Amino acid sequence: MHISELPTPAVVIDRDAVRRNITAMAAVHPGARLRPHVKAHKCTSLAREQYLAGHRSFTCATPNEVLGMVRANVGDDLLLANEVLDADRLHTLAHAQESTRITVAVDSDVTVDAAAMAGLRDVVIDVNVGLPRCGCAPSDAGRLAERARAHGMNVRGVMGYEGHLMMVTDRVEKQRQVHDAMTTLAAAANDVGGDIISAGGTGTFDMFADTEVNEVQAGSYALMDTQYALLELPFEQAMWVVGTIISANDQWKVLDVGLKSLGMDHGNPSITDGSVWFCSDEHITFAGTTARVGDRVRVTPAHIDPTMAMHSVAHVIQDDTVIDTWPIDLRGW
């Protein structure tokens, strides 16, 4: 099938490009040094490509991502890098740990106790390293670790996400701030014990050489988006939403890709050689190309993670030929 035959809007992934991205990251963080974050693509078929590149451990954002990876038999060691209080979901994860090692993040007495009540065996202490989101105060990490051990759980170490630093464009300043955040995490790790010091993302993937971090949780690098492209990282765009021009005049064109098929929290998408004016529910209005009604156009999303979560399948392409279809099977909670 040619991409011109796809019903639109449609997610397409360039197989060769995504493999080049995976290879480039594996050269910097081989094997267990990288714990790829599947929230960026929500696709076990793509995770299998990462597994084949030597990564046996994965990061997940939701219980459903963990369970989907278990069902697909991808990954030997899965980290749920998020706090969970739902007892049913925690019990389901505890049952799944009989076949795959599952570790959950905790950052409070309540989340520690909930994990213990469900029968989960492994936890990491989630430490706040500057992003105002989840994570305990660094000074409280050791106490929480002791509480988890008192419940009979194995504390594998710590994690801390410096997400507030991903888009700092001055590399010298970013390196300084990352070093400070990871120094905080290392101090907490000393109090907590365990083997894991986990952090990082695509925007900081190469800034841990002078830190104690021993695994990096990057995810977006595999597919990329317009926001990360601003950082001039050694990864290429490998995913687009293909649309059809459904209306046109001398001033603008209209594409059947809109707010309901794109993650918009990082701004407008982009179109090569085109200028995006605005997005509506089902449309992009843009100008600047010679494309005509009926032509197919590739749209580059500004934020890959929520864009992938809006679609059920991805069409794998080589040049403009569809060679495979991958279910985006890790959506939902």
Q: Token pair 């601003």 is at which residue?
A: 230
Are both 3-11+234-327 and 15-222 of the same fold?
A: no
The pLDDT score that the predictor gives to residue 289 is: 84
The pLDDT score that the predictor gives to residue 291 is: 87
CATH superfamily, domain 15-222, is Alanine racemase (3.20.20.10)
Residues 6+ apart with CB under 8 A from 8: 242, 243, 244, 256, 257, 296
Q: Which CATH number fits domain 3-11+234-327: 3.40.190.10, 2.40.37.20, 3.40.50.620, 2.40.50.100?
A: 2.40.37.20
Q: Please state, in angstroms and rounded to a whole number, the distance separating the CA atoms of residues 296 and 292.
A: 9
Taking CA 30 as the corner, what is the angle to CA 28 and CA 36, rounded to the nearest 5 degrees? 95
Those residues of the chain that have pLDDT short of 50 are: none
Indicate the DSSP class of residue 270. Answer: B
The pLDDT score that the predictor gives to residue 290 is: 87
How is the chain split into domains, by residue range? Answer: 3-11+234-327, 15-222
